Amino acid sequence: MAKIIVITSGKGGVGKTTTSASFATGLALRGHKTVVIDFDIGLRNLDLILGCERRVVYDFVNVVQGEATLHQALIKDKNCDNLFILAASQTKDKEALTQEGVGLVIEDLSKDFDYIVCDSPAGIERGAFLALYFADEAIVVTNPEVSSVRDSDRILGLLASKSKRAVEGQDKINARLLITRYNPARVESGEMLSITDIEDILRIPVVGVIPESTDVLQASNTGTPAISLKGTDVSEAYCDVVSRFLGENKPLRFTQADKKGIFKRIFGGAR
């Protein structure tokens, strides 16, 4: 049976879809057959980030409503044989997804995949609820700012009370924290919350820290998951996230500001 992971947050624009694409790609590259589902009905972006937007013929809603089979709707990634994408609909209403229909899709996918990654929309609307309802594990994505962390705390409350596991009295969802757009220099200057600040508020373990970087925008614009930008800090950070998720012991990186030497302090970085 597949393990179902929801990538979620309370606030929009924190990097959930970027994370879903990179995390699913990372699992697939490690040999695990993985499918990533876009739950953001009406505003799909996952297919753009994975560079398969022109190949979408049938989508998640078509499958839920019986208008297409999973075989017709699943898109195999061009660069990774173990990765498949189930795109969201751009034209249907958010209410087009039903709990029963999503459950049947998840059940069918569980027969063939090792991991099902659910890319949740922001907030607490229907798509977000359905994305987390069937989850076994959660990665809660937050930026190091008060509003984002506060909204993530609300999502943790929903995971603990509204998921299928909670309703049925099963073991709770294993939730882990991913901090994105982290800039240690800005943390030191007091412009951002520190990792310790965020951990003290949310009280869940950190699975990774993704540094603030223009490489993320480059990846999105070229239809490439950030984890595939070899040699960049962002790629290495997402690789570390996948490794930790799979049980490997990896120290957190990209958490300390660069220390300038005496010549840089006197003369600046440029010569």
Question: So what's the pLDDT on residue 127?
Answer: 87
What token pair was written down for 60?
């998640």
Question: So what's the pLDDT on residue 271?
Answer: 39
Question: So what's the pLDDT on residue 42?
Answer: 84
0.85 cut: is pTM over it? yes
Question: So what's the pLDDT on residue 32?
Answer: 98
CB 151 within 8 A of CB 182: no
Question: So what's the pLDDT on residue 220?
Answer: 85
Which secondary-structure segment (H or E) carries 48? helix 46-49
Question: So what's the pLDDT on residue 124?
Answer: 76
Residue 2's CB is within 10 A of a number of other CB atoms, namely: 20
Question: So what's the pLDDT on residue 31?
Answer: 97
Question: So what's the pLDDT on residue 162?
Answer: 93
pLDDT tens, per residue, the chain with 271 residues:
899 999 999 888 899 999 999 999 999 999 999 999 999 988 889 999 999 999 999 999 999 999 999 999 999 999 999 999 999 988 777 778 899 999 999 999 999 999 999 999 987 778 899 999 999 999 999 999 999 999 999 999 999 999 999 999 999 999 999 999 999 999 999 999 999 999 999 999 999 999 999 999 888 888 999 999 999 999 999 999 999 999 999 999 999 987 655 555 555 554 3
Question: So what's the pLDDT on residue 268?
Answer: 55
Question: So what's the pLDDT on residue 170?
Answer: 94
Contacts of 63 (CB under 8 A, 6+ apart): 69, 70, 73, 86, 105
157: left (phi over 0), alpha (psi -120 to 50) or beta: alpha
Task: Residue 145: name the closest of 188, 181, 185 by CA.
Answer: 181
Question: So what's the pLDDT on residue 264?
Answer: 53
